[in-house]
A = this chain, B = another copy of it.
């Protein structure tokens, strides 16, 4: 497995062509996913039923031959075992009782992932069997700052006013909450590695809402703590230790600090040139990205030309092709195929 294209690219080893996968590749754009989702009845049932989570994880691998599978789950599922209820209506996740006071933060627990989130570990084991070595499996978790935004806002937000009221107005509370979220994230990812994932990605989807100084103080600091915790743990080392991907959506303002996260791979959203990112972060990390998910609305020939542009900017090695964020539900599945084909053909070394 360690010789697989995707894992070699994570380690910046030379590869015969650029590997490709897609954030949210097991998702609503895919007819097979929608069928399984309907069978499950609810989104949470899909997440919590290992055989169904396994089924949707494998669908895009069978359909497109992506070079990595990613565990089907949701970053928010670690919140209920911490003591924060979450519901998943169609309009997006809701936390009916958001966490806003130091007393509420003090009451939060750190889940035991092998107990409270056992269904995730069962899903990982089932997926590994289902994949039978075809491609590596990526596990994931939400980064502390991103998890904080959901816990504090009670859902998505336009301006993150409540999160910022805590970060800047009650920084002790913010650090106490981030500390618990970091501990939860670390032990959850450790358990995923023990269960069999070959790589982990830490999603800081809302890490990009702060100034560069606050990025160092909050999202980066706690992402680093998770990454250091993982590397220092005994259970971490499977072979040479599985690669760690850190993804900040909206990373452009933080490029001077991004590489200091300690991750093996940095995720790059679509709003910045991946060549610019390479110049600023140096050659010590692999990069993953960065086609605009919305660019899949373009014609297949336009998609091919955008893929070519990104491949040229990223260079042949140390690059994993991906979208710059999750694929949009409205995407035409045949346009996904056009993207995958273009990556395979255009990145192949003679």
Contact = CB atoms under 8 A, between A and B. Distances in A.
Contacts of A212: 271-273, 276
A302 B170 CA distance: 12
Given A159-B328, A161-B330, A302-B168, A209 B295 contact: no
Give this chain's copy count. Answer: 2
Contacts of A211: 270-273, 292, 295, 324
Interface in A298-333: 298-299, 302, 309, 324-325, 328-330
A243 interface: no
Contact of A214 (B164, B214, B292): B292
A164 B272 contact: no
A326 B324 CA distance: 27
Contact of A271 (B165, B210, B294, B297): B210
Nearest to A270: B211
Contacts of A330: 161, 165
A252 interface: yes
A166 to B, nearest CB: 8
Contacts of A302: 168
A250 interface: yes
Contacts of A270: 210-211
A241 interface: no
A310 to B, nearest CB: 9
Contacts of A271: 208-212, 250, 253
A294 B161 contact: yes
Given A168-B302, A271-B211, A159 B294 contact: yes
A129 B297 CA distance: 51
Interface string A152-165: 00001011110111
A325 to B, nearest CB: 8
A147 to B, nearest CB: 18
B294 A165 contact: yes
Contacts of A158: 156
A293 interface: yes
Contact of A294 (B164, B324, B325): B164
A144 B302 CA distance: 24
A31 interface: no
A169 interface: yes
Interface in A180-216: 208-214
Contact of A250 (B210, B214, B250): B250
20 contacts: A156-B158, A159-B294, A159-B325, A161-B328, A161-B329, A164-B297, A165-B294, A167-B297, A168-B295, A168-B297, A169-B299, A208-B271, A210-B270, A210-B271, A210-B292, A211-B271, A212-B272, A213-B309, A252-B253, A252-B272
Among all A-B residue pairs, the 9 with the closest Cβ atoms = A164-B294, A168-B298, A169-B297, A252-B252, A252-B253, A253-B272, A165-B297, A253-B271, A168-B297
